[in-house]
Amino acid sequence: MSTIYLLRHGETVWNTLGRFQGQKDSSLTAHGIEQADLVSDILYRKLSDEDQSFEMQVSPLGRTRETASRVRRVLPLPSIEDARLMEVTVGSWDGMTKFEIDSEYPGHLDGSGAYDWYFRSPDGESFDDACNRAKAWIADIGRSTIAISHGLFGRIIRGVYAGLSKREMLELPVPQDGFYRLHEGAFCF
């Protein structure tokens, strides 16, 4: 089984404003660039201990592409964009804050928890569809890979990979200053 190093993009302007980006975009902040550089350096040191070659797969959204360019400064690896690594879309809610969603779509968030609200959008991606996308991406990994994705979708990738329940997946942390190593059905930070 191939090893996957899963990274999240660095902090974006919309992250600082509490906007859910979904499949819209926002540039990395200066802090986000620092995070991407820090992760790149740590990953470079980690991979120097690995006895295998890696490729990089990147979500085609700007914030992940910007993070990937920071990683390529120290790890000039072959790189491909894969749309399956894009963030979960909440449809018309992409780019909105929870306050704006609650104001413009009264009642849609009633009874939702800290994480399941992502899947209450009337025109967004379902949890099952996101899981199926993650499963398909994982199944196609043919060699050791550095993947650069997003917060919510990164949770789903790790959860599907390790066979976690929906609740366990959605409660996973999503740091922007580290990465996860997925290997032999488990993951670690």
Q: Which of 11, 66, 87, 125 is catalytic?
A: 87
**Residue 9: active-site member:** yes
Q: Which of 9, 11, 66, 150 is catalytic?
A: 9
**Residue 150: active-site member:** no
Q: For 73, what's the count of Cα atoms within 13 Å in the CB-facing half-sphere?
A: 14
Q: For 27, what's the count of Cα atoms within 13 Å in the CB-facing half-sphere?
A: 2
Instruction: Give the catalytic positions in this structure.
Output: 9, 87
